[in-house]
Every structure is written in C-alpha cells, then in structure tokens.
Amino acid sequence: MTSRSSASVPAFVSPFARLNDLLDRLPPGASAINMTVGEPRHAVPAIVAPVLAGAIADFGKYPPIKGTDAFRTAVAGWLDRRFHLGGSIDPATMVLPLNGSREGLFYAAIEARLTGGNTIADPVVLLPNPFYQAYAAGCIAAGCTPVMLPADSATGFLPDLEAVAPDILDRAVACYFASPSNPQGAVASLQVWQTLIRLARRHDFFLFADECYSEIYRLAPPTGVLEAAKSLGGFDHVLAFNSLSKRSNLPGLRCGFVAGDQAFIQHWTSFRNMAAPQVPLPLQAVAAAVLADEAHVEDNRRLYNAKFEAAERMLSPLFGNVTPPGGFFLWLDVARFGGGEAVTLRLWREAGVRVVPGGYLAASDATGHNPGEAYIRLALVDGIEATAEAFARLVEILA
C-alpha cells in the first residue's frame, strides 16, 4: 500500500495573508460582508462578566502551568458528561490548560518529537489536507516532515490513514485529526476513531484529536476520541484538544485544554513549564463557569443551525445539499464557476462578499493537485440577516 501524500515538503503560507494579497487592492462591489475568519460573533455568555469581575485580583498572580484545581476539575467533569467517560479522566494528571487550543496544537508536535521521535531517522507528522495552519507550524518547529493526507470527497472529507504505507506510519511521531473537520464539517464515527487509535498504538505515534468544533453540530453530538479510547481500554497515545472559542463564543478568552494520555501530559507539563504561555487565573475561573453551563451552548447551536437552514434553502438549488454534520463553515464546490480563487475574486469585486479560496487552506501534492482548489469556504459567524444577504448575493452572481 502506498501513501497518497506529497513526497516533497510543501510551502506553507497563511491563507489570510494570501487572501489579503489577492483582494486588498480591489474595492468591494457592494457593502462588505466578511465570511473569512472563523471568529464567532454571537453574544458572549452573560455569566462571563460577573465571574471575571469576582476574580479580577488574580491578575496580580503568576498562574501555574498546570492550571488551578477548579479548572482541571471543571474540564474533567465536562468531558465526563459530554463523552460518557465514567469518571476515567483524572483532573490532577490528565488535564492541562492551554492558552487557546492553537498554541497547544503547535507545542504538542514538539513534545511528540521529544518523547517518541528521537530514534527515528526521518520523523514525519501526518496532517489532513486541507488543514489548520497550527498543525503545519508545529510539524516544522518539531523538525519533522509533513505528510499531507487528502481529505476530499473520495475519503468522506476525512483523512484515510489506512491508505498510508506502513513504513510512513512507522516514521510518524504524531497525527493531527479534526472532527468536526475544518473546513469541511465532516464527523468521525466511533469506528473511525477506534481505527485511528489502533493504528497510533500499533505504529507508536500520538493521535492529536482537534475537537474545537465538537459542540457546533446539526443533529447528533459528534463522537469524541476519548470515548473511543475508553472503549479500547485506556488513553495511551490519545490527546483531545478543545477550547471555549467556538462552544461559548469566547475566541478572545484564549483558554483551551488538552486531556488524555497521562504519561504524555506529565512529560509535556515539564516542557511547557519552560516554554509555553500560562492561562491567567481569572480566565480559568471564567472557563470553569461556562463549562458548567449548557444553556448558552444550546442557544448558540440554534443560531448556527438557523443559518444552515437558510443556506440549504437558498443555495441547494445551485449546489445540492450544502449542510455538513458539524462545524460552522460551508465548503462549496465552485469548480464549474472557475474554481475557488476565481470565484473569490468575483464575489468580492461584484458583490462585496469576502470568502476564502479553498486552495489557500490546503497544500498541493507532488503532482501539483490541491484538494481545496475547487472550493470556497464561508464562515457562518455573522448574524442571520447578513448571512442570508451574502447567500442572496452569491446566488445572484453565480446563477
């Protein structure tokens, strides 16, 4: 079996820097509607302000890298309730706060290399393609070669690790895997997670599960990697990353967490104590409070789902079914209209709608094929009125 990935190291550039180069010198064709960055614009939960005010004096203290007992207990409790873990996550040894999941996903690759990659002559990190840029940055910082795994319609928009050559898997120190995936919104089943965990253990690499969109879904809550790991007897080789940015509309809080493999977290804590940013104590207090409340999360989900209902109603005549099972992005195939970059230019010049070309969120393989080039990504983070207006303009331009 052979890997479908590139044999060469792709060049990584920020998709938003590329988008600015493409559009910034061009005036919008109408009042601008920005659907590029996945920054939630729904209301901040009401509980945040009083909790923050009550903890304000703690800004005068250096926070411990391990976080507070209250924060770790809140995370373990939420994971237990959400993923039916039966109390199997020890908050003292299996949970760490992160300064946003982004920095954790970056630093995790370095720890994986230090922990498991020192004896590998040419270590690799497995990345989905399209991918979140922090994965690639972590891979490069760790001195590893990225192996890009296409996550396209042929694979159900999730990477197929069973198609990767065993010798590549043997050189892997880590695999990044997002569910719901960004940008496609695909969701991994229990069986998919179990297959990934078995491969990680058989070939001795760490599985980094990016679950930041786990609470943004249409019908059924996505299965998590920790419940799959529990069904296989434990959490070795498995780390779940999450944050409050999407779940609780708190991207500016910069507070996330990681949970899972006890030995990895123990070693990583020592490394993080030298290199990683701490999470301020008042922010940990806010995080613990919002993790205990699900009402605002349900309200948040209803707002997103109303926008997806509008998308289905307005865009399906042009694109067919557009609603993914998870996340808050639309991933639209615009190949017949000229491809992602050309359509992005048209939407901005003619309609004032700013989107991201899918090719900017992916890397080209050794043959020059980019699995995102036929697509555009739309972040449904604005209000329903602006979102519906953007859909109407898109249809007018493309139809």
Domain limits, the chain: 15-43+296-398, 57-293
Does residue 130 carry a pLDDT above 80?
Answer: yes
Residue 350 carries which DSSP code? I
Q: Give the E-state strand segments of 190-328 in sequence order.
A: 206-210, 238-243, 256-260
Residue 204 carries which DSSP code? T
Q: What pTM was estimated for this model as a whole?
A: 0.96
45: Cα separation from own chain's centroid: 22
pLDDT at 4: 39
Q: What is the largest CA-CA distance in the chain?
A: 59
Query: Of residues 288 and 121, which shows the higher confidence score?
Result: 288
Mean pLDDT taken over the chain: 95
Collapsed DSSP state (helix, strand, coil) of residue 172: strand
Least confident of 214-218, 313-317, 367-371: 367-371
pLDDT in tens, 144-200: 999 999 999 999 999 999 999 999 999 999 999 999 999 999 999 999 999 999 999
pLDDT at 117: 66
**Is CATH 3.40.50.720 correct for 57-293?**
no
Query: How many CB atoms neighbour CB 343 within 10 A?
Result: 24
Q: Which pLDDT band, with edges at 50, 70 and 90, does 2 fall under? A: very low
pLDDT at 119: 78
**Is CATH 3.40.190.10 correct for 15-43+296-398?**
no
pLDDT at 196: 98
Does residue 291 carry a pLDDT above 90?
Answer: yes
pLDDT at 116: 74
pLDDT in tens, 329-346: 999 999 999 999 999 999
pLDDT at 344: 98
Q: What are the distances in angstroms from CA 280 to CA 56, 113, 268?
A: 10, 28, 19
Do 129 and 151 form a contact (C-beta atoms < 8 A)? yes
pLDDT at 150: 96
